[in-house]
Amino acid sequence: MVVIRRHPAQVDKAVGWLVVEPRAAFAGLGRKLPHYGKYSYLAFEGEEPANVVKGQWPTSDSPLLVDLRAEGEARGTALPAMQLPERQALADLPPVFSQSRLMEHVEYLASTDLEGRGVGTAGLDEAARYLVGQFEQAGLEPGGDNGSFYQRFTMQQGPEGAPVDVTNVIGVLPGARADWSDQAVVVGAHFDHLGSGWPDVHSGDEGKIHPGADDNASGVAVLIELAKALAEGESPQRSLVFVGFTGEEAGRAGSKYYVANPIPVPLSGIRAVVNIDTVGRLGEGAVSILGTGTADEWQHIFRGASYVTGVDSRNIPESAEASDQMSFIEEGIPGVQIFTQAHGDYHRPGDTADKIDGAGLVKVATLVKESVVYLGGREDPLTVKIEGQSSGPASGPPAAGPSGGRRVRFGTVPDFAFQGPGVKVSEVSADSPAEKAGFLAGDTLMAIGDQEVTDLRTYSQILRTLEPGQTVDAKVLREGEEIVLPVTVEER
């Protein structure tokens, strides 16, 4: 059992009580407790152990809560519901971003001419040249090798198993403060995709062009127009480095190389990273900010940006491991990913430009601009909250594509905003193992076999252990009832 209460005499401190019997449960409890951080009390059973009770105390004793009623009134009782006026933006800003220009970038990058922008293809090289041309039009300074926009390196293994020469694209908007010349904010988006499927092709999609309109022509479009908008205004106090990363789909090759070879400032001078990846299907939803737990200030930065712009956002503390901000987070640099929503076209030939929400791209760009302007002028470093960070960047070029990736598909699209425990299903892919097993949108996946699913990270780790054709029992929470669905996973 675990019980935490606020210290009655010192409200800024907490008192915890933990009891474990049998002793053999200590190891399992040590692994599981970090995933239950938001709860006030917990109970587990068995040597594994399995969680059976969890809950949170009411916040009536919080030092942040003040009862404004006078003496004699019914203090301590529930306040009547308040009817608040609908929130309005603090300012009615003129349009800064053009929907038509954003869509032009997406349509070109996702066109058949570029053949999916796969590693080692002419289409990826053309996408790099296109990005260079746009950075030049924006008036950015070259930030790559030898006075160019290109940062060239070699991936040791490409689609054919041989080394492949690739490039990041880097443009710089110099800061105005000379005493901050060794500092920068990195704004990035990856411009590669899967080409005809490598390295993450689903069964049946081999040889088909994967346009990658949402993943990540959408992010590149926002990166380009953001660079142009910021270059047209006043110079930022701190340099802004705009990076088109390559090889993201192949194990974050480009961002790993950049972290090992940072330009134009050292790694220690990078104050924050904003990574724009998969932002093309906003619809009526809120913009998701993944990784706000890497620094205390992220949630306030984007909450403030939403107030000013009127663009709704939601802060998600966990970091999605699959995108380029993770290469920086692994080195102790706070980073977030700007994201809209997951969908069934992810890494599929159906990720086409006609499904992109152009008006949503304008909202994303508007929100990101507000946050980047703030980061460019913030005096103090962010308060970093990254555990287990390494002591320094890796050296040398990245190795082959992704290693240890999962070989099976389940067929559920996760709700990234869900804080767990478990993984909430926002959508079930058609004709997938999950659909055949009876999964429904709104289900929460709690365990696969005898392994507990605490969050997206453990879910991904469990899937890596499964073989195509293997049948596993999925424990699902549906409308408060726990059910078990046998799922036969398929080859990706």
Write the DSSP symbol of residue 155. E
For residue 199, cis peptide bond before it (omega within 30 degrees of 0)? yes
- Each residue's pLDDT tens digit, 194-224: 999 999 888 889 999 999 999 999 999 999 9
User: Where would I find the H helices in 116-275?
Assistant: 122-138, 218-232, 253-260
What proportion of the chain, given as a percentage, has pLDDT over 90? 64
pTM beyond 0.85: the answer is no
CB of 433 closer than 8 Å to CB of 487? yes
Quote the CATH superfamily of domain 99-377.
Answer: Zn peptidases (3.40.630.10)
Nearest CA to 2 out of 12, 388, 35 is that of: 35
DSSP lists the bridge partners of residue 21 as: none
Nearest CA to 125 out of 135, 114, 134 is that of: 114
Nearest CA to 121 out of 72, 192, 199 is that of: 192
Lay out the sheet containing 2-6: strands in order across: 14-18, 2-6, 41-45, 50-55
What per-residue confidence (pLDDT) applies to 217? Answer: 97
Q: At what angle do helices 99-109 and 358-377 cross, to 10 degrees?
A: 100
User: Residue 377: CB partners within 8 Å, gap ≥ 6?
Assistant: 236, 237, 238
What proportion of the chain, given as a percentage, has pLDDT over 70? 91
What per-residue confidence (pLDDT) applies to 415? Answer: 81
- Each residue's pLDDT tens digit, 357-391: 999 999 999 999 999 999 999 999 999 998 754 33
Structure tokens at 116: 């999916």
Q: Mean pLDDT, to the nearest integer, of 400-422?
A: 69
- Give φ, ψ of 360 to 5 degrees: -65, -35
Quote the CATH superfamily of domain 408-491.
Answer: PDZ domain (2.30.42.10)
Structure confidence at residue 333 as a pLDDT band (50, 70, 90)? very high
DSSP lists the bridge partners of residue 168 as: 151
Extents of the domains making up the chain: 2-60, 99-377, 408-491
Structure tokens at 374: 């703030």
Structure tokens at 22: 């049998």
